[in-house]
Amino acid sequence: MDPLATATAQLPPTGAPRASAARVAHGKFLKIFFNATACYLLAYQLVSLAYQAATVYVARRASVPGLWNLGGVRFELADSGWRRDMVLDIYGAGPALVLLLGGLSFLWFWQRRQQPGLGKLLLLWVALHATNTVLGGLLADTVTQSGSWYLPNWLLGLGSTWPSTVLGLLFAAGQVVLGFGAAGPFLQAQDSRTIMQFDRRAHLVVYAVVGPWLVGSLLLALSKMPHLGVNEALHYATMSLLLIPLTMGCQREFIRERELLPRPTRVAWGLVGLALLALLAWRLALGAGVAFQ
């Protein structure tokens, strides 16, 4: 018997460890995808609740009748009944509260960025959704001539729509710039060293950013049927003004190894369940619409 041949036959195939490592990494990325999608959904619904609840609250104080349903807040007041102060108060309440919520969320995230856990990722998604609601939201509202579109026009009182158009484009450009700046914080919100490796950054883009955005937006859209409007669909789309620059920045951003506090990657089923329950709660609460005056 040839000893060399026997030893060679007993060696495991070199591709086996690589295949096993690839399966482990794929399973980890799927877990990251589920967690990121849950954070995306919860953050969006929290920001939407703050925006719409603030709008309804101020409208009720001003005795402006309307209907709050899955499609958003709709007012039932003739054009002649609106005054300048009413427009500014009602349509400005939502963006102001969301801007405050986003700022506080980012500050809280920054304090927690060195701590492990999904809490910091959820806080960052709240800040991102708040940014899109205010900046990208003005662009979407300008297209449909609704919501925050009224604010610049009535604030300047020029009797024209160009202030909202110009400001909407400027806000959109600002959102792109912020997207590039958000790459570093987004990487710090991750707990997995595997996903931080440069040769796996493309997986990070797919499983932690693009996938949650597309799947999360689809679930949100389905939960709003048949009340989903063009305006809300545009809000889903304007999120790309943040996320596309963010993904570009993530693929070249450098994070020092010692800045990471890794922990085992597991699916946070409680968080996933909470996100789905929130979708159901929205539908049950606003499916038939809530009238106010």
Q: Is residue 20 part of a domain?
A: no
CA-CA distance, 292 to 259, in Å (whole number)?
Answer: 50
Q: Is residue 233 part of a domain?
A: yes
* Mean pLDDT taken over the chain: 87
The confidence band for 64, taking pLDDT boundaries of 50, 70 and 90, is: very high
Q: Is residue 151 part of a domain?
A: yes
Token pair in block for residue 175: 């959102």
Q: How many domains does the chain contain in total?
A: 1
The confidence band for 159, taking pLDDT boundaries of 50, 70 and 90, is: low
- Average pLDDT (132-141) is 95
- pLDDT tens digits along 43-62: 999 999 999 999 999 999 99
Q: Is residue 149 part of a domain?
A: yes
Q: Is residue 24 part of a domain?
A: no
Q: Is residue 23 part of a domain?
A: no
> What pLDDT, on a 0 to 100 scale, did the predictor assign at position 243?
96
- Average pLDDT (177-197) is 85
The confidence band for 202, taking pLDDT boundaries of 50, 70 and 90, is: confident
Residue 116 backbone zone (phi > 0: left; psi -120 to 50: alpha; other: beta): beta
SS3 state at 73: strand
- Average pLDDT (149-157) is 85
CA-CA distance, 163 to 45, in Å (whole number)?
Answer: 29
Domain interval for residue 64 = 29-282
> What pLDDT, on a 0 to 100 scale, did the predictor assign at position 160?
72
Cα→Cα distances 198→58, 70, 102, 250, 271, Å: 48, 41, 29, 9, 28
Q: Is residue 110 part of a domain?
A: yes
Helix ranges, 113-210 (H): 119-131, 137-144, 150-156, 162-181, 183-188, 193-196, 201-204
- pLDDT tens digits along 85-131: 999 999 999 999 999 999 999 999 999 888 888 999 999 999 999 99
Higher pLDDT, 141 or 21: 141
